[in-house]
């Protein structure tokens, strides 16, 4: 069984790119689906309106509130557990026009759970219009509603593009790859481009494909890109997803052992 390796290529405040080696497609896809569907976050689930003179119906405002990413204090909750805490946070608002109501205007009774971005517009109030409500946020998972998805994730095979130096203008491909930030290696008679991010050949090189330009797919090696909406640090999203996968695998194995007994 190949050794599993994890190599971080790039990490920013809201995104991370890494290479995962030694796993097959089912595991890579299971990790992607777990990040999207199983990692819990806080999101508004119910809204109690007391006044709403705005141009938008209660239901529309409630939907907008639900899609505002809320910070999730992962150190206070067992987010990798298969059962979720039923803790509820109240976000209240009392506003009067004229002016735009933003996510930052929401008042929370738990400073650990608040809008990740204070500049998300909710509704514009005209002169004399009022909006008063309590919004109740709780933990949930993306498999139940998109409002609980912690971010976005995709993966691709890690590949190498071998370009024969018999190809006219091969230097153009070298410079294009370097501008894209891709590793480029010059060997005797060929150029090797490692596609740690999508790379598309200009159309004029199509006639060389499968002849003097070939793509090598590295087996059991994938490039992942994970982006967070702001509810959780991007590294925690991956860490929690892996723990959830382990817990589900352990439960499945235990159930198999019970059947065997």
Return the domain boundaries, the chain.
5-37+152-226, 41-148
Helix (H) or strand (E) holding 88: strand 88-96
Asked whether 167 and 213 are in contact (CB, 8 A), the reply is yes
Q: What's the confidence (pLDDT) of residue 221?
A: 95
**Which tokens sit at 116?**
């990740």
CB atoms within 10 A of CB 102: 17
- How far apart (Å, rounded) are the C-alpha atoms in residues 166 and 210? 14
Domains 5-37+152-226 and 41-148 share a fold: no
Report the SS3 class of residue 10: strand
Q: 41-148, what's its fold?
A: RNA Polymerase Alpha Subunit; Chain A, domain 2 (2.170.120)
Contact assessment for residue 191 and residue 185, using Cβ atoms and an 8 Å cutoff: yes
| pLDDT at res. 251 | 83
CA 133 to the chain's CA centroid: 30
Structure confidence at residue 2 (pLDDT): 64
Per-position pLDDT tens, the chain of length 261: 568 899 999 999 999 999 999 999 999 999 999 999 999 999 999 999 999 999 999 999 999 999 999 999 999 998 888 888 999 999 999 999 899 999 999 999 999 999 999 999 999 999 999 999 999 999 999 999 999 999 999 999 999 999 998 888 889 999 999 999 999 999 888 999 999 988 888 888 888 888 889 999 999 999 999 999 999 999 999 999 999 998 988 888 888 887 876
**What CATH topology corresponds to 5-37+152-226?**
Alpha-Beta Plaits (3.30.70)
Q: How many whole angstroms separate alpha carbon 135 and alpha carbon 107?
A: 10
The answer, as to whether pTM is greater than 0.85, is yes
């Amino acid at each position: 069984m190949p050794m599993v390796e994890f190599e971080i290529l790039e990490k920013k405040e809201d995104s991370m790119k890494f290479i995962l080696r030694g796993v097959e497609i089912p595991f890579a896809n299971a990790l992607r689906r777990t990040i999207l569907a199983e990692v819990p976050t806080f999101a508004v689930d119910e809204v109690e309106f007391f006044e709403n003179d705005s141009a938008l119906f209660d239901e529309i405002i409630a939907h907008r509130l639900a899609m505002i990413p809320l910070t999730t204090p992962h150190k206070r909750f067992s987010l990798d557990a298969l059962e979720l805490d039923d803790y509820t946070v109240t976000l209240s608002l009392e506003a009067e026009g004229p002016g735009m109501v933003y996510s930052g205007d929401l008042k929370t009774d738990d400073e650990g759970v608040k809008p990740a971005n204070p500049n998300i517009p909710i509704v514009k109030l005209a002169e004399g219009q009022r909006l008063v409500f309590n919004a109740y946020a709780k933990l949930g998972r993306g498999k139940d509603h998109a409002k609980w998805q912690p971010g976005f994730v995709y993966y691709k095979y890690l590949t190498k593009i071998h370009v024969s130096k018999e190809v006219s203008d091969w230097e153009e491909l070298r410079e294009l790859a370097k501008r894209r930030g891709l590793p480029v290696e010059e060997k005797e008679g060929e150029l090797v481009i490692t596609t740690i991010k999508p790379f598309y050949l200009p159309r004029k090189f199509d006639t060389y494909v499968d002849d003097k330009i070939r793509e090598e797919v590295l087996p059991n090696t994938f490039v992942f890109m994970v982006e967070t909406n702001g509810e959780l640090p991007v590294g925690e999203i991956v860490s929690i997803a892996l723990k959830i996968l382990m817990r589900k695998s352990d439960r499945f194995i235990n159930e198999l052992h019970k059947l065997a007994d």
